[in-house]
């Protein structure tokens, strides 16, 4: 069978195509699939970045809370020392 008598079918709709059209369609289909895969990877990376940012935000909030508690304890300790000096 030579190239002129070969039957090419569209991968989407199964219609008969010339070899040139089939190559064009499948080439575009492959390119589209590659782009879709790239976009999926970008979305996954973006999701990971967002999750990491949320974790970092929670960690910063926790550190700020701990620093606030530490500052409060130091202030309370200083007030107790001051009061003990006044009472003596």
How far is residue 57's CA from residue 55's CA, in Å, rounded to a whole number? 5
CA angle 71, 75, 77 (to 5 degrees): 115
**Per-domain boundaries in the chain:** 8-87
pTM exceeding 0.75 = no
Query: Buried b vs exposed e over 26-59: b needs ≥16 C-beta within 10 Å?
Result: eeeeeeeeeeeeeeeeeeeeeeeeeeeeeeeeee
pLDDT tens-digit readout, 16-72: 988 888 888 888 878 888 999 999 999 999 999 999 999 999 999 999 999 999 999
Separation between Cα atoms, residue 33 and residue 76, nearest integer Å: 64
Label residue 5 by pLDDT band (50, 70, 90): low
């Amino acid at each position: 069978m030579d190239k002129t008598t070969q039957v090419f079918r569209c991968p989407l709709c199964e219609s008969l195509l010339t070899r040139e059209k089939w190559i064009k369609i499948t080439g575009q289909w492959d390119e589209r699939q590659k782009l879709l895969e790239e976009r999926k990877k970008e979305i996954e990376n973006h999701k990971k970045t967002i999750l990491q940012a949320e974790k970092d935000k929670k960690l910063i909030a926790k550190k700020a809370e701990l620093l606030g508690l530490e500052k409060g304890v130091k202030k309370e300790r200083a007030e107790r020392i001051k009061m003990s000096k006044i009472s003596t």
